[in-house]
Amino acid sequence: DEDPETPSHHYDVKLSYLDAADSLAGLQGRLNALGFDCGVVDGIYGKQTKAGISGYQKHKGMVVDGQASAAVYAAVAKDYGC
């Protein structure tokens, strides 16, 4: 018999802060979490952020220009859930 006080599973959970969905840092963090590498979440629009946005746009069948447009923000918020 298992001891009812002993957990049957152990999970490691990483808690972190996620910037607002309408900020570039928020977009970077959400795209990173969705598997589109924007690099360091720093709110700076650089080559890696453009590449992450472009990959997401391609995946979603959007026009691929690497720009953080309103359409990209809306689609990422919908896919991420916030």
Q: What is the pLDDT of residues 2-11, one digit of tens each?
A: 667 776 666 6
> Confidence class of residue 1 from pLDDT cuts 50, 70 and 90?
low
Could you tell me where the beta strands, DSSP code E, fall in the chain? Answer: none
Summarised one tens digit per residue, pLDDT across range 13-62 is 555 667 888 999 999 999 999 999 999 999 999 999 999 999 999 999 99
In this predicted structure, what is the pLDDT of residue 11? 60
Q: Say if CB 28 and CB 43 are below 8 A apart.
A: yes
Q: What are phi and psi of 6, to 5 degrees?
A: -95, 125
**What's the pLDDT band for 71 if we cut at 50, 70, 90?**
very high
Query: Virtual CA dihedral for 7, 8, 14, 15, nearest 10 degrees?
Result: -50
Q: Examine the pLDDT at 81 and tell me if it is beyond 70.
A: yes
End-to-end Cα, the chain, rounded Å = 43
